[in-house]
């Protein structure tokens, strides 16, 4: 039966009077899936509740950072203890170095790290560093990959840009994007041709090693290795945007999973434990170019604030001390994704999926092909996904409100949650 929405609708209308679209991030408006967006008031474990007291099994997880679930007690305790002493000082605190040491221990490619307040800041700063280190201007990104909303990165981007069908963004002069080369993801031939055409001019490749922003799309065999070889040969740098994949697909991120060594790593999501945090790290010889040691300027008043650092430290400590979390996530995610796929097959619904660890996407297909890049992702049946999303929401299952966003499992999800989700999907597929 349809869920209650009266109170959420009233809150949404109130917000629309003072906030563009009533939201502070576009995808929350549900424009691509339709229906009434729930206004959330509480989250515990794998569950969310909205203003109308509807309960949901949550597969958004604040878009990835809540790998341990909502209101995880050690994280809440760490936040509370830190906030009790003050939320921010505009000065250094001991917890910054503690979190940095733990991250560096997980990712050998990082010798030094700089904390910022968002993934956008991390990727923007990483590219500035790469351009300074190489004294080159051009960067390569991939269609459907989203690296934040910096002007020169909103070129054929994924995430909300893809969800809303926007080719880029108004307000970005073409002069700002003239040095951004957008290529098809998983197309190593196109990358080789571009390096040949711009030989000695490319500063860096920035890539999501596992894409999360056109839906979950893993790298093709040898794709990442090919990028590593091409950049090393040409003197360009390889930037891994692990804002989503860092500590999500493995303890050491995608670079551990695929045995890769990027030059610069961008992080976010999980290292903030649910609070706003980003970071970029690299070997010391690169990071020592950052002010105050070197000429590359980057700063942030709230960077490394003690509350966010404490939340991130509590999260990573738990993951470090309980590596079996990843085994559980792998098992449960496989059960969930395969169970829904089986239900779709039994109902005659065309569905494809991609999954890497505990991040995944079901793609509603107009044909039986898989999804490996933006062109194939964009052929998904978004209207049918919208119907699926709305029906699951009415059944108490909360998926990302976009065909082009990855979903996430947390360690708080139980087998019972997964079975309930599969049962709900079976009923929805009959209606489709």
Q: Say if residues 215 and 403 touch (Cβ distance below 8 Å).
A: yes
Encode pLDDT of 30-80 as tens digits: 999 999 999 999 999 999 999 999 999 999 999 999 999 999 999 999 999
Separation of alpha carbons 394 and 110, rounded Å? 44
Active site amino acids = 146, 241, 269
108 and 267 Cβ atoms separated by less than 8 Å? no
Cα separation, 94 vs 142, whole angstroms: 38
The pLDDT of residue 367 is 75
pLDDT digits (tens, 9 = 90+) for 188-200: 999 999 999 999 9
Span 137-152, mean pLDDT?
A: 89
Is the pLDDT reported for residue 340 higher than 70? yes
Overall average pLDDT of the 203-209 stretch: 98
Q: What is the pTM for the complete model shown?
A: 0.94
Contact call for residues 407 and 213 (beta carbons, < 8 A): no
Contacts of 109 (CB under 8 A, 6+ apart): 255, 261, 262, 263, 265, 281, 282, 283
- Preceding peptide of 292 cis, ω within 30°: yes
Average pLDDT of span 8-20 = 96
Give the span between the Cα atoms of 45 and 269, in whole angstroms: 17
24: exposed, middle or buried (C-beta count within 10 Å: 0-12, 13-18, 19+)? exposed
Strand, helix or coil at 430? Answer: helix
DSSP three-state, residue 67: coil
pLDDT of 158: 46
Q: Give per-residue burial for 248-257: e unless 16+ CB within 10 Å, then b.
A: bbbbbbbbbb
Instruction: Of 256, 216, 250, give the one whose Cα is nearest residue 355.
Output: 216
Structure tokens at 105: 């221990």
* Residue 139 in this model has a pLDDT that exceeds 90: yes
> Does the pLDDT value for residue 163 go beyond 70?
no
Tens of pLDDT, residues 368-384: 679 999 999 999 999 99
Going by the DSSP 8-state scheme, the letter that residue 364 receives in this structure is E
Q: Is the dihedral of CA 36, 42, 48, 54 positive or negative?
A: negative
**Residue 116: other Cβ atoms inside 10 A:** 26
What are the start-end ranges of the H helices in 119-187? 119-134, 160-163, 174-177
């Amino acid at each position: 039966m349809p869920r209650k929405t009266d109170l959420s609708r009233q809150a949404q209308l109130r917000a629309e009077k003072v906030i563009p679209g009533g939201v502070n991030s576009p995808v929350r408006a549900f424009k691509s899936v339709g229906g009434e967006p729930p206004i959330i008031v509480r989250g515990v474990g794998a569950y969310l509740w909205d203003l109308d007291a509807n309960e949901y099994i949550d597969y958004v997880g604040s878009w990835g950072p809540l790998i341990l679930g909502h209101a995880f007690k050690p994280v809440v305790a760490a936040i509370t203890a830190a906030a009790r002493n003050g939320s921010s000082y505009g000065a250094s605190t001991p917890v910054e170095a503690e979190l940095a040491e733990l991250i560096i221990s997980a990712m050998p490619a990082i010798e030094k790290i700089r904390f910022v307040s968002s993934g956008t800041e991390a990727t923007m700063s990483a590219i500035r560093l790469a351009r300074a280190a190489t004294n080159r201007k051009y960067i390569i990104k991939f269609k459907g990959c989203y690296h934040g909303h910096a002007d020169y990165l909103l070129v054929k981007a994924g995430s909300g840009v893809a969800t809303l069908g926007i080719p880029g963004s108004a307000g970005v002069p073409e002069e700002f994007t003239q040095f951004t080369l957008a290529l098809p993801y998983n197309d190593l031939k196109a990358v080789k041709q571009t390096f040949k055409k711009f030989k000695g001019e490319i500063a860096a490749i920035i890539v999501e090693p596992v894409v999360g922003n056109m839906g979950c799309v893993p790298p093709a065999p040898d794709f990442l290795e090919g990028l590593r070889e091409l950049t090393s040969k040409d003197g360009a740098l390889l930037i891994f945007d692990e804002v989503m994949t860092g500590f999500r697909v493995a303890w050491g991120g995608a670079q551990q999973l695929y045995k890769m060594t990027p030059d610069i790593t961008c992080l976010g999501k999980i290292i903030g434990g649910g609070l706003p945090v980003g970071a970029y790290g690299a070997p010391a010889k690169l990071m020592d170019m950052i002010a105050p040691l070197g000429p590359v300027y980057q700063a942030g008043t709230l960077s490394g604030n003690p509350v966010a650092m404490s939340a991130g430290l509590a999260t990573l400590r738990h993951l470090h001390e309980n590596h079996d979390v990843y085994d559980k996530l792998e098992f449960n995610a496989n059960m969930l994704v395969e169970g829904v796929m089986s239900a779709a097959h039994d109902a005659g619904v065309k569905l494809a999926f991609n999954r890497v660890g505990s991040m995944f996407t079901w793609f509603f297909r107009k044909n039986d092909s898989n999804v490996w890049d933006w062109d194939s992702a964009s052929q998904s049946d978004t209207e049918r996904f919208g119907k699926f999303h709305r029906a699951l929401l009415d059944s108490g299952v909360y998926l990302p409100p976009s065909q082009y966003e990855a979903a996430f499992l947390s360690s708080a999800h139980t087998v019972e949650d997964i079975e309930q989700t599969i049962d709900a999907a079976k009923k929805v597929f009959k209606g489709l």
